[in-house]
Chain A
């Protein structure tokens, strides 16, 4: 369960991210995603971008696992220390789950979503 306050806070953060960090088309955008114990912090669970953006997801983690972005079907192995980049141009709109696997549980978990909004 999450309170309304945290949800509102999250929306505010996301909106701020989009308005402050939302550049003109095709300008590269770097989004930090830091997994801790196989989870993303509250304010990184929904990544909102605009169609046509040049996006780089910069992944860091505290343990070895694999991240998989559905739809765009990008997969990267992550390990503690070195950040891993997922760079792509967001062409298709939609809400795409981001999953991790190979964690200590040994199965798949949705850790967040990439939302690509139409221009």
Chain B
């Protein structure tokens, strides 16, 4: 049975009437992928480098235990350019642009041409925003916290009605035992839309989903206040915020009082708080920092990692891996078998198989991680409970996920991203040519396979090394005994090598869109 044909059925009527420069097969969130699988020698080389360099990192760490020392930081606010970046007016301009873009996308989704590549909405949402912002968050900083249009709109309206003497938010105290569970549930729903739901490329459906998300977000903000909802309930603020812990920039406030308002205590051990925009705005100028820092160092902060946060991180990692896995021949064969076996379910089969797969992947991640956490705790002589080990070490897996994500989406972003050049001139598919680029055709040879392969392998190996470093540094800091800390890291290294191998393996698989008969 052909998977692409079944997926395409709902779209066939739309697609076949329009001659498209690129006819997408809808294998992923959106758009066609042309990646060549990694050759065997590069796979072996990458794997060997990951394992070998792990021991180099460990050796260096054992010699120079960083202990509780903080990481090096460079405050950009010392320079005029840094102060300009943090300026309220610059942020406001970015927010206005972001809100305008959201309005264009939502309007286009409802009123524009319903073909996925002629309407700006699918490309803007799946390629530029979801994949693009993951890159920006991980490689630049928590920019989503700055430009989030839903947050901006709410803040503007809140400021407006406050002038009339009315409070927009009820400011119900957020129940702390709820942790980030709302974000976990909403993120799972989003992942289902991205990876399973067949209507994900149809502009009008995306419009309805965007409106639904807006309603949920603003309801949460009205109930608990903007900051509390973004911190606990908003799946994208939490997801991009988690990725941004890896980034080489941070916003820091050195004022304990400013870090502890509105029912959320963001303060770290030393009384400072990181990447809290609200806190930054409250703090005095002298207590604000906009820092450059080494990649991955934000992941050393594990104080606010709750059990729900552990599940969120594992869910985030598992959906990225599941996305890659569903394009492999192995999944294709499994799907073929299930497809035949589940014949009574009829047309719902692919959705059912996809949904079960999507639910299974985080369950497997959580189970495997818990088993390894138990092993780590035991290896360290049970000096820390399994629960504590689970919470302090989960963030150290993030660099592997980021590296895999960068490798997996590199060509996709470079090729599918070019659609924006055309769509910018004709966002609604009405035949406009605002910037004279409406006839632009994506260059599929923008970079060669060799370049893509090396980028992927280097990213995965570097991500793995940073992950090993972070895990060791956290263990050396948290365990009361250095030898116990190092013993705890043997299982962690096994887990990380395994995770890295899975990532490399997926990239070495040919992307398949059909299910063999």
Contact = CB atoms under 8 A, between A and B. Distances in A.
Interface string A30-59: 000000000000000010000100000000
B32 interface: yes
Interface in B157-201: none
A70 B23 contact: yes
B449 A117 contact: yes
Contacts, number: 82
Interface of A: 1-2, 46, 51, 68, 70-73, 91-97, 99, 101, 105-110, 113, 115-118
A42 to B, nearest CB: 10
Most buried by B among A93, A116, A118: A93
A97 B34 CA distance: 8
Sorting the interface of chain B by its residue count into under 10, 10 to 19, 20 to 34 or 35 or more gives 20 to 34
Contact of B22 (A2, A70, A110): A70
A63 B486 CA distance: 67
Contacts of B36: 93-95, 115-117
A16 B340 CA distance: 34
B511 interface: yes
Nearest to B37: A95
Given A1-B516, A95-B511, A117-B449, 16 more contacts: A2-B516, A70-B22, A71-B22, A92-B34, A92-B444, A94-B34, A94-B35, A95-B34, A105-B5, A108-B4, A108-B8, A108-B12, A116-B36, A116-B449, A118-B448, A118-B449
B84 interface: no
28 contacts: A70-B23, A70-B25, A71-B22, A71-B32, A72-B444, A91-B445, A92-B443, A92-B448, A94-B34, A94-B35, A94-B444, A95-B34, A95-B37, A95-B511, A96-B34, A97-B32, A97-B513, A108-B5, A108-B23, A108-B25, A109-B2, A109-B5, A110-B4, A110-B25, A115-B36, A115-B510, A116-B36, A118-B448
B192 to A, nearest CB: 24
A116 B443 CA distance: 15
Contacts of B34: 70-71, 92, 94-96
Contacts of B386: none
A108 B10 CA distance: 12
A107 B511 CA distance: 21
Contacts of B32: 70-71, 97
Contacts of A118: 448-450
A76 B36 CA distance: 24
A105 B36 CA distance: 29
A68 B23 contact: yes
Contacts of A71: 22, 32, 34, 444
A93 B445 contact: yes
A70 B511 CA distance: 14
A107 B5 contact: yes
B5 A51 contact: no
A77 B2 CA distance: 21
B22 A73 contact: yes
Given A94-B444, A118-B449, A107 B25 contact: no
B468 to A, nearest CB: 31
A50 to B, nearest CB: 11
A46 B2 CA distance: 17
Contacts of A115: 36, 510
Nearest to A92: B445
B424 to A, nearest CB: 21
Interface in B396-421: 411
Closest 3 CB pairs of A and B: A92-B445, A94-B34, A93-B449
A108 B5 CA distance: 5
Interface in B200-246: none
Contacts of B2: 109-110
B514 A110 contact: yes
Contact of A95 (B4, B16, B510): B510
B337 interface: yes
